[in-house]
């Protein structure tokens, strides 16, 4: 990867808004504030280019699990008609191309400082401004601070003893070399079988001399049935694109699928099996939405889906011992992030693939020549960490964010994130978080949630300017009630029945708190709209201090 850092003078502006991040969220926020509203905006972005998640996650097989026609912006109607997706699901290079195109089309790069990481943001109560500092020596003061930092942008390489001694190469899926990695003939080890592992393992297996997969938790995954896009289908969508997108905006997960209205427990075994089979053949998240309405809510209904997938694994994987290792038994389907795959289980039928169960024989150390578990040693040339992210709060904690009276966000969120609507947190006026913890974010099709947040924040800024409001801060009671609501509705779901990154369980020492809002993007949007229409209920809005005469 070319890591040349271009020289430039430090930025020392006094402006309206700083946006941190230039992925899906930062790009649209920039367009909204700068072009639609005429604010003076500075964007800071760590990468050399735009794209966020899709700039960093370049591992083989990286792609989105939302279908391509709905994994896009809706604010640019012409672009919706013009852009031609090539696959059923958008692959990383194509999404990155799309985001670069959006940046070009709207001339969004000219106020983005690339290769620049925000290190701190401190609120000054005296003049109601944020002071934002970066690792490039920039010091920018602004009224509004908006985080567009992504939910899964802080990669997690587990602290396994001996990594420093490893003589081969190692990579994390979330910081993949731009030039790619050639696995030809190599002995490769992949640690992790979440989304990144499940996507990359089949692709790496095709190239590697030998692939060893180190699995801590077996996964439920449904075939994606990825392929080239059905042009006639997409052309038809384009005739009613706004309706399709509007449906997503009002839905549970920001997806275009019709939800089943039937319980899995009200049909015969034969009928249930037929419904699951049809969804399995069609592929993707429809297995969750179009089959039955209680899979994620009722344990007995869930058992039927979990058992269906377990049977599919046993049917697909030829070696019964390997199949049993791949069958998830310790958590129900949908309690961890649901996965969709392309030939994941089939990959274990290959002669050049070995599955190592590190739940029962954990990794002890990385040696100069490979990985040693309690059961044996595996010689490797390359290790791939598909070990995930310090999700949702991790990206915030990388920065020193201090609000009123020097309150550190890290301290305030020590026992878990506390927000009002996932967009604001008490003690941090004029700080707005796009898809922050406590909003649907990672439980939804991200562009739908991002657009809703960007537009809602845009409305806030417009309102403040129109009404002469200088600061807006969540009210303590509103925040407390929102946090209680987020926890209460999560408690009734399968999500509490597994160790997952939604709960922070993948990071040693992280508090076990369910972070996203599970109530659905439609219900959430309605709540945000009601708050806005009631004059920003639950927020304290303060006018600019009137200058004292003669002072």
Task: Please state, in angstroms and rounded to a whole number, the distance separating the CA atoms of residues 491 and 290.
Answer: 23
Q: What is the DSSP code string of 420-485?
A: BTTTB-TT-TTEEETT-BTBSGGGS-HHHHHHHHHHHHHHHHHHHHHHTEEEEEE-HHHHHHHHHH
Nearest residue to ligand NA7, by Cβ distance, number only? 194
Interface stretch with ligand NA7, choices 191-199, 226-234, 366-374, 417-425 (CB under 6 A): 191-199
386 in contact with ligand NA7 (CB under 6 A): yes
Q: Within 350-369, which residues bind ligand NA7 (CB under 6 A)?
A: 358
The owner of tokens 């926020």 is 29
Exactly one of 187, 216, 226, 525 binds ligand NA7 (CB under 6 A); that residue is: 216
d(CA 310, CA 304): 10
- Shortest distance (Å) from residue 61 CB to ligand NA7: 11
Cβ(529)–Cβ(453) under 8 Å?
no
| CA proximity to 449, closest of 433, 463, 464 | 433
For the bound state, the minimum distance from the C-beta of residue 380 to ligand NA7, rounded and expressed in Å, comes to 15
In this chain, which of 111, 119, 207, 217 binds ligand NA7, going by CB under 6 A?
217
Residue 380 near ligand NA7 by CB under 6 A: no
How far apart are the C-alpha atoms of 80 and 86, rounded to whole Å? 14
- Contact call for residue 253 and ligand NA7 (CB under 6 A): no
CB-CB contact of 114 with 135 (8 Å): no
User: Phi/psi at 531 (nearest 5 deg)?
Assistant: -60, -45
Give the interface segment with ligand NA7, choosing from 97-105, 386-394, 420-428, 513-521 (CB under 6 A): 386-394
Please, what is the minimum distance in Å from the beta carbon of residue 160 to ligand NA7? Answer: 7
Q: In angstroms, give the least distance from the CB of 203 to ligand NA7.
A: 14
Rg of the chain, C-alpha, whole Å? 24
Give the closest residue to 134 by CA, choosing from 324, 5, 289, 258.
5
Encoded tokens for 494: 């399968």
Comparing CB distances to ligand NA7, the nearer of 57 and 402 is 57
Q: Which residues pair with 367 in a beta bridge?
A: 370
Q: Which of 115, 134, 143, 195 binds ligand NA7 (CB under 6 A)?
A: 195
Distances (CA, A) of 30 to 151, 330, 457: 19, 44, 12
Query: In this chain, which of 23, 194, 223, 332 binds ligand NA7, going by CB under 6 A?
Result: 194
Angle CA 30–36–39, to nearest 5: 65
Work out how close the CB of 155 gets to ligand NA7 at its nearest, in angstroms, rounded to a whole number: 8
Residue (83 or 214) nearer to ligand NA7, CB: 214
Please pick, from the candidates 46, 66, 115, 196, the single residue that binds ligand NA7 as defined by CB under 6 A: 196
**Least Å from the CB of residue 428 to ligand NA7:** 26
Q: How far is CA 68 from the centre of its chain?
A: 16
Q: Which is nearer to ligand NA7, 63 or 129 (CB)?
A: 63
Q: How far is the CB of 453 from ligand NA7 (least distance, A)?
A: 17
Residue 538: CB minimum distance to ligand NA7, A: 29
Q: Is the Cβ of residue 133 or residue 354 nearer to ligand NA7 in the bound state?
A: 354
Cα torsion angle, 263, 265, 270, 274, sign: positive
Binding of residue 197 to ligand NA7 (CB under 6 A): yes
Asked if residue 212 binds ligand NA7 (CB under 6 A), the reply is no
Nearer to ligand NA7, 174 or 416 (CB): 174
Task: Tell me, by CB under 6 A, how many residues bind ligand NA7.
Answer: 22
Helix (H, G, I), strand (E, B) or coil at 497: helix
* Nearer Cβ to ligand NA7 (158/162): 158
Element (H, E) at 370: strand 370-373
For position 435 contacting ligand NA7 by CB under 6 A, the verdict is: no
Interstrand relation of 112-113 and 41-44 (parallel, antiparallel or unpaired): parallel
Helices 446-467, 241-249: crossing angle, 10 deg rounding: 80
In this structure, what DSSP letter does residue 114 have? Answer: -
Among 483, 506, 513, 524, binds ligand NA7 (CB under 6 A): 506
Residue 152 near ligand NA7 by CB under 6 A: yes
Cα separation, 375 vs 225, in Å, equals 36
Q: Which stretch binds ligand NA7 (CB under 6 A): 10-18, 238-246, 285-293, 499-507?
A: 499-507
Residues of the shown chain interacting with ligand NA7 in the complex, contacts defined by CB under 6 A: 152, 158, 173, 191-197, 216-217, 337, 358, 386-389, 442, 499, 501, 506
């Amino acid at each position: 990867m070319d890591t040349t850092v271009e020289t430039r003078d430090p930025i020392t502006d006094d402006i309206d808004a700083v946006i941190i991040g230039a992925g899906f969220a930062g790009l649209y926020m920039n367009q909204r504030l700068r072009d639609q509203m005429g604010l003076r905006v500075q964007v800071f972005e760590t990468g050399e280019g735009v794209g966020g998640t899709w700039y960093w996650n370049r591992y083989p097989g990286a792609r989105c699990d939302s279908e391509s026609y709905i994994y896009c912006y809706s604010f640019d109607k012409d672009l919706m008609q013009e852009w031609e997706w090539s696959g059923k699901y958008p692959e990383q290079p194509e999404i990155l191309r799309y985001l670069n195109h959006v940046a070009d089309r709207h001339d969004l790069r000219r106020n983005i400082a690339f290769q620049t990481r925000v290190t701190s943001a401190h609120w000054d109560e005296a003049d109601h401004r944020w002071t934002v500092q970066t690792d490039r020596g920039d010091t920018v003061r602004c009224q509004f601070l908006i985080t567009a930092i992504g939910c899964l942008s802080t990669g997690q390489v587990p602290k396994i003893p001996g990594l420093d001694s490893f003589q081969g190469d190692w990579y994390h899926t979330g910081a993949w070399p731009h030039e790619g990695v050639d696995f030809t003939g190599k002995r490769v080890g992949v640690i992790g079988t979440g989304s990144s592992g499940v996507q990359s393992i089949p692709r790496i297996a095709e190239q590697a001399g030998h692939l060893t997969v180190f699995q801590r938790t077996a996964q439920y995954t449904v075939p994606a049935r990825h392929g080239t896009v059905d042009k006639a289908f997409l052309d038809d969508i384009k005739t009613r694109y706004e309706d399709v997108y509007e449906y997503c905006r009002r839905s549970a997960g920001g997806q275009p699928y019709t939800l089943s209205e039937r319980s899995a427990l009200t049909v015969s075994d034969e009928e249930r099996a037929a419904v699951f089979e049809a969804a399995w053949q069609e592929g993707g998240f429809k297995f969750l939405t179009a089959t039955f309405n209680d899979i994620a809510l009722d344990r007995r209904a869930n058992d039927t889906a979990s058992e269906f997938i377990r049977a599919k694994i046993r049917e697909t994987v030829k070696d019964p011992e390997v199949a049993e290792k791949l069958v998830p038994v310790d958590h129900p389907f949908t309690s961890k992030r649901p996965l969709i795959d392309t030939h994941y289980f089939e990959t274990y039928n290959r002669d050049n693939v070995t599955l190592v169960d590190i739940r029962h024989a954990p990794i002890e150390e990385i040696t100069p020549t490979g990985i040693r578990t309690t059961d044996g040693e595996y010689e490797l040339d390359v290790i791939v960490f598909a070990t995930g992210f310090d999700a949702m709060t991790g990206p915030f904690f990388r920065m020193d964010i201090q609000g009123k009276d020097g309150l550190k966000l890290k301290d305030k969120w020590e026992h878990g994130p506390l927000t009002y609507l996932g967009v604001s947190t008490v003690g941090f006026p004029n700080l707005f978080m796009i898809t922050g913890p406590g909003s649907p974010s990672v439980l939804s099709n991200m562009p739908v949630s991002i657009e809703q947040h960007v537009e809602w924040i845009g409305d806030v800024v417009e309102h403040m300017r129109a009404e002469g409001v200088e600061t807006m801060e969540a009210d303590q009671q509103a925040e407390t009630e929102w946090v209680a609501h987020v926890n209460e509705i999560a408690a009734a779901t399968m999500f509490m029945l597994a160790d997952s990154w939604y709960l922070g369980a993948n990071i040693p020492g992280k508090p076990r708190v369910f972070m996203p809002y599970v109530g659905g993007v439609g219900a959430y949007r309605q709540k945000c709209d009601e708050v806005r229409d009631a004059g920003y209920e639950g927020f304290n809005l303060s006018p600019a201090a009137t200058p004292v005469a003669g002072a």
